[in-house]
Amino acid sequence: MSRRQSLGGFSAGLMLASFGLSGCKDSSGPENTNAAPTADFSTDCTDLTCRFTSLSGDPDGQVSKYKWEFGDGMQSANQGPTHAFSATGDYTVSLTVTDNQGATGSVTKTVDVTAAVGGAPTAAFTVTCFSLDCTFADNSTDGNGSVVAWAWDFGDGSTSSAQNPPAHHYNATSRTVYTVQLTVTDNDGLTSSRAAQITVSPPASLECQDASGTGSFASCDLVLEADATVTVALQGRSCDAHNDTFMITAPQLETLLTDGCYAPAVGTSFNLHNGAVFAAGTHLKAQVISGATNQMTAPALHVTGAYPTWTLSFDDGVGGVSEPDFNDLVLTVTATPVP
């Protein structure tokens, strides 16, 4: 991620190389294992013009090439192209990505585009999401009249005719992509539509490795083994999304970060509940809400360490080089026993 802050022999292989075989490897060896990239993308279309955003990622390298096919005979090699279709209709758009070791991944989606007539308004809106709650604001314009009607489709069966509808809650239990569409009508009866895909996820809660070295994580709590005060410290961050929110949810609710990618300063620490002493056996729970609307994977909050100090590593779900990297927010939770 772009915003990074932190505290802060002779072998048979050498003999083979002498015979010009240094490029030869046992194809069954672990050094040749390369995980293929995962292709994904979101769309944002206003009338016939669509902007495509790659959400692709590679777990052990980076995506180095993009091949877009827009279903109308046109292609692009850009990471995030904008394409103008010539006519209304459903188009089959495919994206193939190639990683730095030559492995590929592909995805295909159907994109519906509509045409506006001359003099029509231009539909536009912004969206801000806080976990499963999203706020939509109309930014539509009409150069020769005024917009008089709004028709929102939130992609989950819910609609609204308000210009700026109240915050909308999505009943998703996992990372889910919704296509939100706004159609506006002006005083001449002309219309314009914009459809954009957003990604929402429930808050990421604590997950501990279920067995050392397995790489598998399961829901867990942090348990105090003695009467203690608890300090939480922000140790590092490497993220760009606004509104990343970290909170302790048990034994009492306490929100510590509300825009974690930007504030407070790395190194800031918090004494939970003003330094109150928690009894032995107390279970601490925590969660992070990702402010990113372009998540490729579900946000996750991994725990390492053991009493009295745990490290919490958060990944916001945004794709990119070597994602998920679990360094978007890094915090420590430290229990200090009280005699």
Query: Which of the two residues, 227 and 209, has the higher pLDDT score?
Result: 227
DSSP E strand boundaries for 189-293 = 191-200, 204-209, 217-219, 222-223, 228-238, 245-250, 254-257, 269-271, 283-289
Closest CA to 218 of 207, 227, 229: 207
Residue 62 predicted with pLDDT over 60: yes
Residue 103 predicted with pLDDT over 60: yes
CA–CA separation, 303 vs 323, rounded Å?
A: 18
Query: Residue 21: pLDDT band by 50, 70, 90 thresholds?
Result: very low
Residue 14 predicted with pLDDT over 60: no
Query: Residue 213: pLDDT band by 50, 70, 90 thresholds?
Result: low
Q: What is the pLDDT of residue 9?
A: 35
| 183, 151 contact by CB (below 8 A) | yes
Q: What is the mean pLDDT of the chain?
A: 88
Tens digit of pLDDT for each residue in 222-234?
A: 999 999 999 999 9
Q: What percent of the chain has pLDDT over 90?
A: 73
Q: What is the pLDDT of residue 12?
A: 29
- The residue with tokens 């915003």 is 3
Domains of the chain: 125-200 (2.60.40.10), 204-337 (2.60.120.400)
Closest CA to 245 of 262, 260, 234, 263: 260
Please state the rounded mean pLDDT for residues 4-13.
36
Tens digit of pLDDT for each residue in 175-191?
A: 999 999 999 999 999 99
CA–CA separation, 328 vs 260, rounded Å?
A: 9
* Distance in Å from the first CA to the final CA of the chain: 43
